[in-house]
Structure 1
Amino acid sequence: MNTESHIDCKQCKNRYKSIFCDLKEEEVDVLSLGKACKTYKKGEEIFTQGTPPKGIFIINAGKVKISRLADSGNEQIVKMVNSGEILGYRALLSNEMYSSSAVALEVTSICFLPRHLFFRFIEQNATLAGALLKIAASDLKHTERKLVDLSQKTARERIAEALLYLKEIYGYEQDQTTINVILTRGDIANIAGTTRETSIRVLAGLKKDKIIDFSGKSIKVKDFPGLVSLANISD
């Protein structure tokens, strides 16, 4: 961590797209006074796999990847996270060590809420507890889909779905074609559950087929319906 700051929750635009959006005014005051805000550099860990949780993290601004390191040393990206979302809630609720690590993909502002305040909000605010359940259900659905994909889909289909997933999380840049996140080919491979070499080959093939285009690490979606069809997503 390189800097600490204070962010007034009443002035925070991202609160309205977080689980804290429906807090009463006096609850917002407690949240604002009880949290700590820090800025993380690109590549810096927010929390580390195998360490105990002490609270939850809320992304005020920036992008984060949640990844797990296997015994083999291979990284598997389990989730990509954007501003307004919370991190680390599952380990806290289950009272277990973190099963994954959170890493900043760019300069990222994070708010930390200690354990006792988080549980107080859950106990006193049914709407917040319900919102947390929806997030947990969504995360479980995403995990189940990835397990099915790994066993039933080709690498090309998984790469296509990974690109759609990134577009869903981060959207487009102003040109409405460039996915608004910068990732290495290795990161894309780790999302899709394949190798870096396969990721490079598949992305080159998608570019040749005019489904995507790329310059450096930036990826443009040229044929969105074609990408959706290729991903072969069933709900």
Structure 2
Amino acid sequence: MLCPVEGWGKQKNMSYLRVMSIAGIFPIDKWNFSTSAILNVLTEKEYDFLISRQIGQKYVKGEVVFREGVVPSGIYLIVKGKVKKYKVDHSGREQIIYVASQGEFIGYHAVLAEERYPDSAATIEDSVLSFIPKEDFLQVLTSSPLFSSRMLKALSHEFTVLANNISVFSQRSAIERLSISLIFLREKYKNDLNAEGEILINISRTDLANLAGLAKENVIRLLKELKEEGILHTDGRKIWISNLEKLIVRSNYR
């Protein structure tokens, strides 16, 4: 039996101590939402019913968790790793809507709306996910007003974030979109540190391009510019931001 969030809070707190916090210098909440705190409102009995009897399933990098248009049979909790939520256009190109990380739920929109999945989800690194049948999820949602309230709050904030993302694609320049995407990813990877204690973003250039809504060639060129400006360093697909303040200036978020 695998406890999905065992040790997660401790790891998170340690990472905050070792890396520069973004709070106060960039409005990350405009671009990032998380369902990770929702579990904290459950009683021990509710938590055991919803989570403890679920067994984590391993997914390799790039493996599809669910596809757009499929009828959902439950939701997923990310025990370890990261998952991209995306849609595919008529030409076959992906547009990444969001990246979810450890401790977050995915797939709950379709269950709550009693609809098919509105998007697809796939891992961007080796991951472990816990599947929760929709009957269990809905039972706890019905029996716990606080859990229901937190879920509604998370959905409301998610709407705000997605509205900001639409604004980015329609109004921002390429460098601003890439900068905001990198700042967002820094938040998602803040528990992934290299030997020097720096946040290490490990994502393919294709996924980064699909997240920022840019051509892969443009992403490669802009990353080179940011590297020459001393804002970041790269090693293969790995990226670490060495000057967060300069990157925020380049994002022109105000």
Q: TM-score, normalised by structure 1?
A: 0.89
CA distance in 1 between counterparts of 2:47 and 2:118 reads 30
AA at the equivalent of 1:112: F
Offset of residue 191 of structure 1? 0.7
**Root-mean-square deviation over aligned CA pairs:** 1.9
Q: Aligned to 1:12, what secondary structure does the other structure show? A: coil
Q: Could you report, residue by residue, the CA deviation over 1:37-80 in whole angstroms, capped at 9, with x for unpaired residues?
A: 31111111111111111111001111111111112211001111
Q: How many residues align?
A: 227
- Counterpart for residue 119 of structure 2: 100
Matches within 5 A, 1:156-235: 156-171=175-190, 173-174=193-194, 175-179=196-200, 181-234=201-254
**Where does structure 2 lack aligned partners over 5 or more consecutive residues?**
11-35
- Counterpart for residue 150 of structure 1: 169
CA distance in 2 between counterparts of 1:31 and 1:94 reads 20
- Counterpart for residue 37 of structure 1: 56
| Change over 3 Å in CA distance of 1:8–1:227 after alignment to 2 | closer
- Counterpart for residue 50 of structure 1: 69
CA distance in 2 between counterparts of 1:210 and 1:81 reads 28
CA distance in 2 between counterparts of 1:223 and 1:173 reads 16
Offset of residue 18 of structure 1? 4.0
Correspondence 1:90 to 2:109: yes
AA at the equivalent of 2:198: T
Q: Aligned to 1:111, what secondary structure does the other structure show? A: strand
Match for residue 23 of structure 1 among 35, 42, 46: 42
CA distance in 2 between counterparts of 1:95 and 1:14 reads 31
CA distance in 1 between counterparts of 2:217 and 2:3 reads 45
CA distance in 2 between counterparts of 1:39 and 1:182 reads 19
CA distance in 1 between counterparts of 2:240 and 2:227 reads 9
Correspondence 1:12 to 2:6: yes
**Where does structure 1 lack aligned partners over 5 or more consecutive residues?**
1-5
AA at the equivalent of 1:72: S
- Among the aligned pairs, what percent are the same residue? 30
| Change over 3 Å in CA distance of 1:178–1:36 after alignment to 2 | closer
AA at the equivalent of 1:77: I
Larger RCO: 1 or 2 (CA < 8 Å, sep 6+): 2
AA at the equivalent of 1:218: K
Q: Could you report, residue by residue, the CA deviation over 1:143-181 in whole angstroms, capped at 9, with x for unpaired residues?
A: 1111111111110110011100001112151434343x3
| Change over 3 Å in CA distance of 1:127–1:218 after alignment to 2 | same
CA distance in 1 between counterparts of 2:45 and 2:232 reads 49
| Change over 3 Å in CA distance of 1:18–1:60 after alignment to 2 | farther
Query: 2:83·2:99 contact (CA, 8 Å) conserved in 1?
Result: yes
Match for residue 141 of structure 1 among 147, 151, 160: 160
